[in-house]
Amino acid sequence: MNFNDSFPGKTVFLLLWMAAGNTFSDPLDTVYWKTFYINTIGVGTGVASEGYRQSMLTNTGGMMPYNIKAGFGAQAPKIGRAAGGYYDYLPSVSAYRDSLNAGRRTDMTIGTHLNALPWSDSADQSVDILHNYLEKYDNGSLLQKDRNGLIRNSSLDQDPTIDETGDSFAFLEMQLTLSPYAPLVHDYILRNTRLAARYFAWLREDAPDIVTFCTLTSETGQNIRNGNFSDYSEWSKQEFHDWLSGSGIYDGKAQYSSISELNSTFGLSYSSWDDVEPPTTVSWNSTSTGLWWQKWHEFRVAQVQHFEQSQMTATREAGWNPDRLFGHQQPGGENDTSDILYTMKATPLSTTFVNDGGNGVTTYGDNAVDTDIFNALYADDKSWGLVEYNPNLTTVAENMTALDSVFNAHAHIICPFHWTLTDNVILGSELETALQQFLAAGSNSAYSGLAEYETTAESRSALWTMSYSSDIETSAGWSSLNVSTGVCYATFGQPSASMDLELDENRHTLISDGYHALSARIFFSNAPSGDLVFQWTDTDNAVASVSVPVEQGWNLCRVNLSELSDWREKEIKNLKLTFAGGAGNSMELDWVQLQACPCWHFNEAGEVTSVRNYLTWSISDGSFTGTGSTGDHYFYLAVDDDRRFIDTERYDRVRIRMTSSTSGTGQFYWWTEDLGYSAVNFSVSAGTHTYELNLSATPRWTGIASKLRLDPVNQAGATCSIDYIALSSLMLPPRTPVYNPIINSPNPVFTWTPGTEPDNSSFLYEFQLATDFGFTNKLINLSGLTNAYHVYIGDSIDGFYWWRVRARRSGTGFVSPWMVPMPLFVNTWDGNSTNDFVNRHSISNITVSNGIWTAQTGSDPYFDLNSGWVDSGDAVNADIYKTLQVRLKISASGTSSDAQFFYFPLDGGTYATTFSVPPDDEWHECTLDLSSLSNWTGMMKRVRLDPTIYSGATVSIDWVRFMPESDGDLDDDGIADSTEGSGDPDNDGLENYRDPDSDGDFMSDADENAAGRNPYDASDIAFHFNTDDDFEGWTNWANITNAAVSDGILSAQSTSTDPYLYTTNCAFSSDQIETIYYKLRGETNALAVFYWKHDEDSAWKVQVVNYTNSPDWQVCAFHVSNSSNWTGTITCLRVDPATSAANQTFAYDWILASDGDLDNDGVPDAFDGLDSTNSTGLENFRNADKTSSPMLIHDLGISSVVQMQMTGYSGYTYILKRSDSLTSPEWITVQAIGPLTANQMMTFEDNTATETNAFYRIFSE
């Protein structure tokens, strides 16, 4: 359409709007793929956003058109300007929340630009931001280099720590390499891009009516600021080698089959790929020199495009639908050697042609009206946009023509630049007037750049935005109801009230199989008296419904519809919501969404491709119908590897509604990049049937499916009519209601909410925490969780992680997709950095030593706890973390003990609580219960500590940490926190109440408690190998084969003379154990060896004993406490069996530790002995019979007094007894000592013996 032809003036625009209002469009008409978006950059989030809305809708009577939406650019996070190494340069994303609030306030859409390289840098190299850190890293090794090996203009010092110079874009002087072979750059940029994109996607889950699209970092390319060609860094050279040879990330994509082919093509003489040097002579002619230069240039362009692709994929993986993603490149002329964008910057238009999203370019001036650019973008991908746009024209008519040309070329989005910036200001300009007129002229026009089958499923979701009063068709039971700025506000007039959502059934019905879930955002002022009921009526007047639990406050409801038989295969003509509340209570409905799923309704010929082996076929009346010429007839569905692919993680149910003239076997095929093609068969019966394929248990249904094919039935001559093919989820993925990427607690809490599964509400959860987005390095992998939260309990963690969760429906095989990973940075203020505490007032002479932060105070001293982004609202989630713990000491002259903790809620206000810290130069552990503070709720944007009232005081802080609210058993080990206390027997820094393995002995406190072991004493370590195939942590071995655990024995075979097994699942205090025992069986008599490591030395320490009982069992005892190397925290145990050659078998019956009295009978192991002299079969030191083994004393006549010493234990009485014979023993009491009040060394004496030899035993009681 051409708006200029039909627009003589403003009055006509008002008439057009009024006319458009008479022809109502319901949400089926206003889906994303039918809507054109204008999102102006630079509007801001304050009152300017209201003024912007008024301006844009000047000619529409203040109403937003249905299919052309005016919005604005969200305040983008500065990914490369991420401040502060303290938090490893995480970008602050809180500005997105401000943008969302402005979008809700004005009922306008927002999009974002994920600006990374090379933007948001600082020319001042002293500023602690990510760009500068990477630029200065390793003396500039990560920077692009030009042909002369320089990082900046040759007239300047090449020191990267020196400030960048030049115009307002001086920060572009030095630029980081784009090569993914520079992992530090690559990993930081991808991490920060994912983090920002994930937050914006998370906001979209909460506000799909507002949060609309993402574009990538702006105009990435090779550095041109020094007027030379880049990039000749070592990273780029290595990548060039691999690109030519098909190695590394280019595996299988070689440009040349051999170095010889490369040499012969360009007249070169390299002997290996690593010797290849990129050319430095610029030439665009057809000589060998020119062709070699052009090959290097081809790589430079490919490198830029590869960077664009990596950004696009990372953003898509962070939760963005490809239809809502757009590149952001400059449209350099393709093969235009006069265009610096093509030659030096290496950014021809084609660098935006990547998969996982649409095309996007910057256009100013002539480019903003260049239809050749527009047509090239549309030819490559029909989803495209102008992500910076300003034609810089001087008349309204010219600007209207420019906007017309963009719309008629089928751009999906434009982002006018810049609302207020002087160089391209829109506010008050002719472009502002043109935008006003364009919106009004287009009020009755739908965007037509895409066909439905050319879009992803998410683009087809039906969304009632509550932007129009007509979104509500009818209502009942309300005392008042009105729609304003994107919200329906209503007050209950009676306990039950309802509203029908607008659906123009006179023009179309809603086909249920195209939608798999319902979601809505609803607020209740009071606790609702019942569930939300979603009801539908089909064209046969059948009525069905589903209930969704709701509660007071805001609710994000999500319910799975696809597994409801009453929902499927219906033509819906009415949708109703029924609410339960009390008269006078209020309700706010923000939006309602029916989430579309991949579904082929066969309304258009383009829904199928490559129809093969049919006599005839057609698409009409919503069906594909054909007759096969052979038994192998098939067709492909409209799917590709660019945007319209299928994420198999999201969809695992296939439904096919088909009428067949005969029975047989059907096949459903799919293709993935890693596995190629796969298929499942299904039985086909004659007649009309719906076939359901559950692919969740099919191992090859994984990754991204870029092709789908249906072979309806394997019978020649069969006629089949397919009504629809739909993919849906067996379950909805959980969603976290909280985005709080920085947690200042050693026990971070992860929370989530499952979707509503109407026919089964019982769930089990799987939880994973990993150091990487792909979860290849998992720290935690839990399953069977019953609560919709997890409190991390275990060894201290710090730094950056990703976490995710999925749900299982109890009693079924149904598993949800994984939640899109969420970021987490764990940091506790542990006194190791001067930046633990910031925004300091009257604090000086700060030092950090051995984990203690120390400073001197002046008048009114205080500081903020460094929670990341002060005043951003991301500091502390007060609904989860209810306790503050501080360990500090104050040295001052005085007696007052006042200290204060201040907190600043995101919603406003300043609050404080006082606690006591005596200024006595002694350490104090202070615990502040914040749960009783009325304003400790929601998000805190800032937290502050005033450690003392004294000036001139010395403040020392060991640690400060927030702790989550506990249910009385924080570590969930079945032992109350109050019982466990704050002891730390394994010295791991975790108090018992938050340590699941308090003694660090391989077994959890819960398991030890159940087994009757002491969870706070590692001396009862025991490995009995009583469960088949359970190595109990001894899973590391060397020079061993055929290892197995069976019938209570760990056995294996040596492959050399040095076989061994070891475990690292330990961290216990060495002073708890005196002896390690194991029971060994081997083929030969040799040395049996025990090794260990401790935290103070990574080298193995060793003790040996002789194994002399081959081939039978022998107990080997290692008295480790006698070794000076048995010290600190023991971190690794190793056993070396007695073998002298390869191919010898050996076995362990058990491995045990002892504190000197393993059986706790009061008699030391040394007196009990290793033999078994009792009926139990247990060795004496393991048999708690409270008596030692008999000891034979010879030649009593030599001395009239027999003496012996033994350690005694508190609470025991010890009795020395004597017998002259073991044949018919008569044990006579000689002496009793005890009961002892403490552990001590005892001395027994006997001066009554009369025989030459006697036997002695010591009894305990």
The confidence score (pLDDT) of residue 1252 equals 66
pLDDT higher at 1246 or 852 = 852
Q: Round to whole Å and give the CA distance between 880 and 862.
A: 25
- Residue 10: DSSP 8-state: H
Percentage of the chain modeled with pLDDT above 90 = 74
Report whether pLDDT(692) > 90.
yes
Buried b (16+ CB within 10 A) or exposed e, 973-1002: bebebeebeeebbbebebbbbbbbbbbbbb
Q: CB–CB of 1047/1150 below 8 Å?
A: no
Identify the CA nearest to 1180 among candidates 1107, 1077, 1109, 1103: 1077
Q: What is the mean pLDDT of the chain?
A: 91
Query: Whole-model pTM?
Result: 0.88
The confidence score (pLDDT) of residue 3 equals 32
Residues in the chain: 1261
The confidence score (pLDDT) of residue 15 equals 31
Backbone torsions φ then ψ of 881, nearest 5 degrees: -100, 110
pLDDT in tens, 1131-1185: 999 999 987 789 999 999 999 999 888 877 777 877 777 877 666 677 878 776 6
Reported as a pLDDT band with limits 50, 70 and 90, residue 869 is low
Reported as a pLDDT band with limits 50, 70 and 90, residue 2 is very low
SS3 call for 505: coil
1184: tokens are 């708690």
Identify the CA nearest to 491 among candidates 483, 480, 476, 482: 480
The confidence score (pLDDT) of residue 1199 equals 54
Report whether pLDDT(558) > 80.
yes
The confidence score (pLDDT) of residue 1165 equals 79
Q: Show the domains of the chain with their CATH numbers.
A: 3-123+182-228+327-441 (3.20.20), 461-597 (2.60.120.260), 600-728 (2.60.120.260), 742-826 (2.60.40.10), 839-867+874-965 (2.60.120.260), 1018-1155 (2.60.120.260), 1185-1260 (no CATH)
The confidence score (pLDDT) of residue 16 equals 34
Q: CA quadruple 1066, 1071, 1072, 1076: dihedral positive or negative?
A: positive
Report whether pLDDT(871) > 50.
no
Say which amino acid occupies 814: F
Distance of CA 1229 to the CA centre of its chain: 70
Q: Any idea which residue has 């030599």 for tokens? A: 1198
Distance of CA 86 to the CA centre of its chain: 21
Report whether pLDDT(512) > 80.
yes
What kind and span of H or E run contains 1005? helix 1005-1010
For residue 478, the number of C-alpha atoms closer than 13 Å in the C-beta half-sphere is: 20
Backbone torsions φ then ψ of 102, nearest 5 degrees: -65, -40
Instruction: Mark residue 789 as left, alpha or beta (left: phi above 0; alpha: psi -120 to 50; beta: remaining).
Output: beta
pLDDT in tens, 223-243: 998 889 999 999 999 999 999
Reported as a pLDDT band with limits 50, 70 and 90, residue 971 is confident
The confidence score (pLDDT) of residue 1193 equals 55
Report whether pLDDT(22) > 60.
no
The confidence score (pLDDT) of residue 341 equals 96
Report whether pLDDT(200) > 90.
yes
- Region 1188-1197: mean pLDDT is 54
Q: What value, to the nearest 5°, has the Cα angle with vertex 834 and ends 831 and 840? A: 110
Residues with Cβ < 8 Å from 62, sequence gap 6 or more? Answer: 54
Computed on alpha carbons and rounded to an integer, the radius of gyration of the chain in Å comes to 37
**Which of 349-363, 640-654, 926-940, 972-986 has the least mean pLDDT?**
972-986
Q: CA quadruple 425, 428, 430, 434: dihedral positive or negative?
A: positive
- Region 1220-1233: mean pLDDT is 79
pLDDT in tens, 409-430: 999 999 999 999 888 899 999 9
The confidence score (pLDDT) of residue 5 equals 35
Say which amino acid occupies 990: L
Identify the CA nearest to 87 among candidates 743, 794, 871: 743
Report whether pLDDT(788) > 70.
yes
pLDDT higher at 1098 or 341 = 341
pLDDT in tens, 98-144: 999 999 999 999 999 998 888 889 999 999 999 999 999 999 999 99
- Region 677-694: mean pLDDT is 97
Q: Round to whole Å and give the CA distance between 587 and 902.
A: 35
Q: CB–CB of 281/287 below 8 Å?
A: no
Residues with Cβ < 8 Å from 325, sequence gap 6 or more? Answer: 213, 214, 215, 216, 312, 315, 316, 356, 357, 358
The confidence score (pLDDT) of residue 718 equals 97
Report whether pLDDT(1059) > 60.
yes
The confidence score (pLDDT) of residue 164 equals 93
pLDDT in tens, 147-166: 999 999 888 899 999 999 88
DSSP string, 244-312: HHT-GGGTT--S-SSHHHHHHHHT---SSGGG-----S---SSSHHHHHHHHHHHHHHHHHHHHHHHHH
pLDDT in tens, 1025-1046: 999 999 999 999 999 999 999 9
Report whether pLDDT(9) > 50.
no
Backbone torsions φ then ψ of 840, nearest 5 degrees: -80, 140
pLDDT in tens, 247-305: 999 999 999 999 999 999 999 999 999 999 999 999 999 999 999 999 999 999 999 99
Reported as a pLDDT band with limits 50, 70 and 90, residue 756 is very high
The confidence score (pLDDT) of residue 897 equals 83
281: tokens are 């002579």
Buried b (16+ CB within 10 A) or exposed e, 178-194: bbbbbeebbebbbbbbb
The confidence score (pLDDT) of residue 11 equals 30
The confidence score (pLDDT) of residue 1251 equals 65
643: tokens are 């945007």
DSSP string, 1074-1094: SEEEEEEEESS-EEEEEEEEE
The confidence score (pLDDT) of residue 569 equals 95
